[in-house]
Amino acid sequence: TNVSSPFSPNGTKKSLSTFSPNSFVNVEKGDPVAFRSYWEKVSDKSSVEIKGEEFMSYFGDGNNLCWYMLPQMREAILRIHNVVGNVVTKDKFIVLGNGSTQLFNALLYALSPSDPSDQPINVVAAAPYYSEYQDVIDHMQSRLFQWGGDAALYDENKPYIEVVTSPNNPDGTLRTPVVNSEVEGKLIYDLAYYWPQYTPITHQINQDVTLFTLSKCTGHGGSRIGWAFVKDIEVAKKMMRFMHLSSIGVSKESQIRAAKIIEVICDGYENFKSVGSDHLFFNYTKKLMIERWEKFKGAIEKSKVFTLPKYPTSYCHFNKEFSDQYPAFAWLKCVEGIENGESYLEKLKIRTRGGERFGDDAKYTRLSMIGTDDEFAEMCTRLSNAKRE
């Protein structure tokens, strides 16, 4: 297979496919490596060096509630949100985590009732929901919280936590809370994908608790950096207690790397005129997502086996234009007569995550749109060759 990317330095990049017909193409996970070609272009600028004697302390900033966070990490987080305008950062505490996964765990602890005689609080999310929420909660078998299932079906008049993922994983929809209860619930906004390469930035979100991750913003999942904006100091303090007990903070090496990566993105936007828009991270990665989605839609149409969700067009305040959505995952639904999307694609040697894992029907299955160029190209080839039996 020839893999072409108009964004690679020499125009068209040719590489031999590493896939033999018998090997699986794995698009089951959401490993965010698609933006690698951007970071290759700015490789020198985005490198960091750390000397043996540096960053030896557990502490990063004794004056901050989040005492292990380095000042340059905090500044980078505030700076990128200032550039993109996707969240209100004023009057919020920042809690840094080992990915937003650890902060989700910290929030389960911090938002649960502290009286041990209380019943575990129900945690719900509207189906289809990100499968890890349920996996984490079931695995913990906590006395503080339990999985309460689909938020749309929750009808108990008891305290609850609702996770609102927007844009949503797996289906890319923009979401608001859905629980209908006489009791006021606590909300966790997981905004992992609320970045301009995936979705129009329609407004600055201002909520009690919002979660972000470097993984889906810049593509550096391996650095394990996530952050939460928290309005209530008591919630932030409890999260800090959890962070202390589970990992005594977050690696300084990761913070230095993450701060540098974010700085490179922000410097680009501040020096916009000298670098040109193709060199800007969100412009480049949005183009990449558009290109992948066009290719993918072509393959799906050819196969006539699946349909895709329809997304509204909205005004993006960041790009200053109307824009479609280009989600990090494709959420495929089988046409009439095919009952199981995941096993259908297994036969085509494409590994995906089936709808039931997300609290939905097996007719649906989720495919990553943010894997390597090779994986993506091979997935499209195999999909377009799929013919209804």
Nearest distance from residue 201's CB to ligand PMP, in Å? Answer: 17
Say if CB 86 and CB 267 are below 8 A apart. Answer: no
Q: How far is the CB of 258 from ligand PMP (least distance, A)?
A: 11
Strands (E) across the chain are located at 25-26, 93-98, 121-125, 145-150, 160-165, 186-190, 209-213, 225-230, 306-307, 314-316, 321-323, 329-334, 350-351, 353-354, 364-368
Neighbours of 3 (CB within 10 A): 18
Which of 105, 197, 213, 285 touches ligand PMP by CB under 6 A? Answer: 213
Stretch touching ligand PMP by CB under 6 A, among 2-10, 96-104, 289-297, 332-340: 96-104
- Phi and psi at residue 314, in whole multiples of 5°? -135, 165
Q: Which is nearer to ligand PMP, 130 or 344 (CB)?
A: 130
Single-letter amino acid, residue 238: K
> Could you give the CA distance from residue 59 to residue 69 in angstroms, rounded to a whole number?
7
Q: Name the segment binding ligand PMP (CB under 6 A); options: 81-89, 109-117, 213-221, 359-367.
A: 213-221
* Per-residue contact flags (x/-) with ligand PMP for residues 162 to 181, judged by CB under 6 A: ---x---x------------
Q: How far is the CB of 192 from ligand PMP (least distance, A)?
A: 4
**Alpha-carbon separation of residue 59 from 90, 234, 245, 358 (angstroms):** 24, 21, 15, 39
Smallest separation (angstroms) from ligand PMP to the CB of 339: 26
CB closer to ligand PMP out of 216 and 382: 216
Peptide bond connecting 159 to the previous residue in cis, omega within 30 degrees of 0: no
Report the nearest approach of ligand PMP to the CB of residue 57 (Å): 24
Q: How far is the CB of 52 from ligand PMP (least distance, A)?
A: 29
Site for ligand PMP in 180-199 (CB under 6 A): 190, 192
- Contact string 146-165 vs ligand PMP (x = CB under 6 A): -------------------x
Asked if 131 and 353 touch (Cβ cutoff 8 Å), the reply is yes
In the complex, what is the shortest distance from the CB of residue 65 to ligand PMP, in angstroms, rounded to a whole number?
21
To ligand PMP, the closest distance from the beta carbon of 130 in angstroms equals: 4
Binding-site member from 130, 198, 229, 269 for ligand PMP (CB under 6 A): 130
Number of H helices and E strands in the chain, helices first, is 11, 15
Give the count of residues interacting with ligand PMP (CB under 6 A).
13
Site string for ligand PMP, 17-46 (x = CB under 6 A): -------------x----------------
- Give the residue from 308, 312, 310 showing the smallest Cα distance to 367: 308
Window of 94-102, 249-257, 268-276, 286-294 that interacts with ligand PMP by CB under 6 A = 94-102
Contact set for ligand PMP, span 215-234 (CB under 6 A): 215, 221, 226
Can you say whether the dihedral through the CA atoms of 171, 172, 174, 176 is positive or negative?
Answer: positive
How crowded is residue 110: how many other Cβ atoms within 10 Å of its Cβ? 24
Which residue lies nearer to ligand PMP by CB, 104 or 296? 104
- Closer CB to ligand PMP, 3 or 94, in the complex: 94
| Shortest CB 31 distance to ligand PMP, Å | 9
Angle (CA) 254 256 262, round 5°: 100
Put the strands of the sheet holding 329-334 in their side by side order. Answer: 306-307, 329-334, 364-368, 353-354
Distances (CA, A) of 369 to 170, 288, 297, 343, 366: 11, 10, 12, 19, 10
First to last CA, the chain: 25
| Positions that interact with ligand PMP (CB under 6 A) | 30, 99-101, 130, 165, 169, 190, 192, 213, 215, 221, 226
